[in-house]
Amino acid sequence: MLNTLRKIVQEVNSAKDLKTALGIIVLRVKEAMGSQVCSVYLLDPETNRFVLMATEGLNKRSIGKVSMAPNEGLVGLVGTREEPLNLENAADHPRYRYFAETGEERFASFLGAPIIHHRRVVGVLVIQQKERRQFDEGEEAFLVTMSAQLAGVIAHAEATGSIRGLGRQGKGIQEARFVGVPGSPGAAVGRAVVMLPPADLEVVPDKTVEDIDNELKLFNNALEGVREDMRKLSAKLATQLRPEERALFDVYLMMLEDAALGGEVVEVIKTGQWAQGALRQVVGEHVNRFELMDDDYLRERASDVKDLGRRLLAYLQEARSQSLVYQDNTILVSEELTPAMLGEVPEGKLVGLVSVLGSGNSHVAILARAMGIPTVMGLVDLPYSKVDGIELIVDGYKGEVFTNPGEVLRKQYSDVVEEERQLARGLDALRELPCVTPDGHRMPLWVNTGLLADVARAQQRGAEGVGLYRTEVPFMINQRFPSEKEQLAIYREQLQAFHPLPVTMRTLDIGGDKALSYFPIKEENPFLGWRGIRVTLDHPEIFLVQTRAMLKASEGLNNLRILLPMISGIHELEEALHLIHRAWGEVRDEGTDVPMPPVGVMVEIPAAVYQTKELARQVDFLSVGSNDLTQYLLAVDRNNPRVADLYDYLHPAVLQALNTVVRDAHGEGKPVSICGEMAGDPAAAILLMAMGFDSLSMNATNLPKVKWMLRQVNLSKAKELLEDALSHDNPQLTHSALQLALKNLGLARMIGPNKTL
């Protein structure tokens, strides 16, 4: 069964459009189940009717014509009950409705399964049989499994159709809306530039080109590049391989010939398809043919063709990236945005970001917020590879993206972009003013940094120190571990830029969603795995080099503070402190005269919340990482858009934990700050101030908004709001109460993207 399922899904996945995909589904499911009819009905959101979209066995002339409301017929019943329906004789059922056009009166038994994508019914898959019989359990399970597998494929094909104007009934849907999760607030109107993952043939889209000769030239260059690589590889392995093994390289070379794959790609390019698309098409056909073969040996050959395809594609992509010129108003779209990608687009050209994977608390979203670039994450239904060159609207507040916007929508969003510009200008005036509440409470606002551009932005916004410098960012945009000297230069630049203000440098916090290309960590549960301090304690050489570089960089400046991430207990802290003291001794022996800097721990693992007192006794300060603390307290992966709705830092459990940390840290006489994204949410900042945090550290973009808010709320009022929030057992109540309070205070202006806002 699995094999059949796999084959069908694979075939459907490679269909060029929705109609073809549905045609394959009904044909293959009918064959696999040995039924006489298989049909797919899809729910048309405009008319709210289930429309017959494809059938094998019923009258094909009724396709697109027969439809039923959710309260009509058996199909409507399956759709509304969201459960399979298995009937020996359909006509006996009170909900049976007869559609003469389909000729279905000949079929007695009926088995229907709902097609559900992300909790939403998108259609119904039905099989029918002439003789009266109940389909058995195995058949029912097969159909349910099939429809669950196909739901995503159908949703994807539909979305692609809507983008290219090949909607359900072939009518061109101009404007399509895709819903993801907010990544970074703000709105943007621009054109999509898609960054495809390197050498992944499956996602290469079709594209028509005018300059066919240029595509042919690009392809010939790629062919030559791969030929050369093969020859070199063959020569290099000459002494290690037997002649028959080396013959594989000759096979590869032959496949590249005009008479084989190479020639076929050229033919497709001549029809006006770009080289990458032609390559995907030809390689795909060959791979499919091999993979559907029953002979194991021949099936394995598919991987050779794929390998060759990937090699050719890498050359084509390289050539494209070299010739790519970024226009103004670029919106970068990718399956998985990475911090390195953010640096690809020249300054001033990038207005928006879109990622299929990841969520609002993914690190790339945090960087996007720091850069002030509107971003939508987790757009799982966006056929991202197909949107290159298309006009897009990015709504980073709601987490929505519109493709091909019409006049009205474009105007509406262009106005929002302009309003935001004015608001930002208004906030600039706050730069020189302190963050003091009307009743005189001083709340120091610090900034989170990592990118070079953060320095200038932080200074413009009047930050009073750096509460979190994410040192992994310079590691991530490198091709190898930076040396001690290189790190020293980077850290010195930070320390100097903010001097005499304090700069809190966090030791390397990789793992989770922060990968180094040159130090891959593959794990089933990366957020519960080898992360942060766990990695660096296992690799003292990395930790020592880094802390030595930090210490040396602070010579003569003395504004360094060191922060340890992901501490789960005293033992880790003691080990880390031991290494820091060792590094300090070493650099002083080498003649660098620096005092021991203050050292702090991040409280971001629930275990640390309950050990705040013990940790506080051994360090100079604490800093709460509410991003991770929220994910670990609520068991919600911060990177997973499916559970983004459950991620909520105003959850009573999170608020209680934060309150406990402040109380216990102060009990030991140690200052405590917070550097998670929550600190940059103006409404949440009110509660944090009331809890007694000694400083709030946030991205430079949000700093003026928080300052604006806190300058208008009395500490006494903030304490009232906190008391109220702590009494709620439901986070929704806290959101509503905060929103209402801000509205009553006339402070709703900053209400924006995050949950509270």
- Where do contacts with ligand PEP occur on this chain (CB under 6 A)? 366, 468, 470, 509, 604, 625-628, 675-676
Exposed, middle or buried: residue 452 (CB in 10 Å: 0-12, 13-18, 19+)?
middle
- The token pair at 336 is 């998985």
Q: How far apart are CA 101 and CA 277, in angstroms?
A: 41
How many positions of this chain bind Mg ion (CB under 5 A)? Answer: 3
Nearest to 13 by CA among 198, 120, 117, 155: 155
Chain position carrying tokens 């050209």: 349
User: Mask 33-72, x = binds Mg ion (CB under 5 A)?
Assistant: ----------------------------------------
CB of 237 to ligand PEP, least distance (A): 43
Point out which span in 68-76, 272-280, 361-369, 622-630 binds Mg ion (CB under 5 A). Answer: 622-630
468 binds, among Mg ion, ligand PEP, none (CB under 5 to 8 A by kind): ligand PEP
Q: Which is nearer to ligand PEP, 98 or 530 (CB)?
A: 530
Q: Which is nearer to ligand PEP, 470 or 561 (CB)?
A: 470
- Considering only the C-alpha atoms of the chain, give the largest distance between any 2 of them, rounded to a whole number of Å: 94
Contact assessment for residue 618 and residue 573, using Cβ atoms and an 8 Å cutoff = yes
626 binds, among Mg ion, ligand PEP, none (CB under 5 to 8 A by kind): ligand PEP
Question: Strand, coil or helix: what is 393?
Answer: strand
The CA-atom distances, in angstroms, between 310 and each of 188, 199, 293, 305 are 34, 5, 22, 9
Q: Which is nearer to Mg ion, 51 or 476 (CB)?
A: 476
Paired residues of 376 in beta bridges: 182, 354
CB of 625 to Mg ion, least distance (A): 4
Q: Which of 628, 637, 664, 677 binds Mg ion (CB under 5 A)?
A: 628
CB of 533 to Mg ion, least distance (A): 11
Q: Which is nearer to ligand PEP, 239 or 525 (CB)?
A: 525
Q: Which is nearer to Mg ion, 190 or 625 (CB)?
A: 625
Q: List all residues 6 or more positions away from 215 whose beta carbon is below 8 Å from its beta carbon.
A: 209, 269, 273, 274, 275, 278
Contact assessment for residue 373 and residue 355, using Cβ atoms and an 8 Å cutoff = no
Q: Which is nearer to Mg ion, 52 or 573 (CB)?
A: 573
CB of 474 to Mg ion, least distance (A): 17
CB of 670 to ligand PEP, least distance (A): 18
What's the DSSP call for residue 104? G
CB of 379 to Mg ion, least distance (A): 24
- The token pair at 267 is 């033919």
681 binds, among ligand PEP, Mg ion, none (CB under 5 to 8 A by kind): none
Radius of gyration of the chain (CA): 30
CB of 604 to ligand PEP, least distance (A): 5
Q: Which is nearer to ligand PEP, 90 or 691 (CB)?
A: 691
State the distance between the two ends of the chain, measured CA to CA, in whole angstroms.
Answer: 49
Q: Which of 625, 641, 680, 704 binds Mg ion (CB under 5 A)?
A: 625
Q: How far apart are CA 41 and CA 134, in angstroms?
A: 22
Contact assessment for residue 341 and residue 359, using Cβ atoms and an 8 Å cutoff = no
Q: How far apart are CA 192 and CA 348, in angstroms?
A: 15
Q: How far apart are CA 612 and CA 742, in angstroms?
A: 32
CB of 658 to ligand PEP, least distance (A): 11
Contacting Mg ion within 358-387 (CB under 5 A):
none
Q: How far apart are CA 752 and CA 398, in angstroms?
A: 9
Q: Which is nearer to Mg ion, 291 or 628 (CB)?
A: 628
Chain position carrying tokens 């033992």: 571
CB of 623 to Mg ion, least distance (A): 10
What's the DSSP call for residue 117? E
| Binding of residue 73 to Mg ion (CB under 5 A) | no
Q: How far apart are CA 423 and CA 438, in angstroms?
A: 22
Residue nearest to ligand PEP (CB): 625
Q: Which is nearer to ligand PEP, 339 or 405 (CB)?
A: 339
The number of residues in the chain equals 757
Q: Hey, which residues are catalytic here?
A: 363, 675
454 binds, among Mg ion, ligand PEP, none (CB under 5 to 8 A by kind): none
Point out which span in 195-203, 555-563, 621-629, 660-668 binds Mg ion (CB under 5 A). Answer: 621-629
Q: List all residues 6 or more positions away from 559 whose beta carbon is below 8 Å from its beta carbon.
A: 495, 498, 499, 500, 501, 502, 503
CB of 402 to Mg ion, least distance (A): 33
11 binds, among Mg ion, ligand PEP, none (CB under 5 to 8 A by kind): none
The DSSP line for 290-332 is HHT-S-HHHHHHHHHHHHHHHHHHHHHHHHHHHH--PPSSEEE
What are residue 95's phi and psi, to 5 degrees?
-90, 0
Q: Which is nearer to ligand PEP, 68 or 366 (CB)?
A: 366
675 binds, among Mg ion, ligand PEP, none (CB under 5 to 8 A by kind): ligand PEP
Q: How far apart are CA 128 and CA 680, in angstroms?
A: 58
> Which amino acid, one-letter code, is at 153?
V
Nearest to 592 by CA among 704, 700, 464, 492: 492
Contact assessment for residue 658 and residue 624, using Cβ atoms and an 8 Å cutoff = yes
Residues of the shown chain interacting with Mg ion in the complex, contacts defined by CB under 5 A: 604, 625, 628
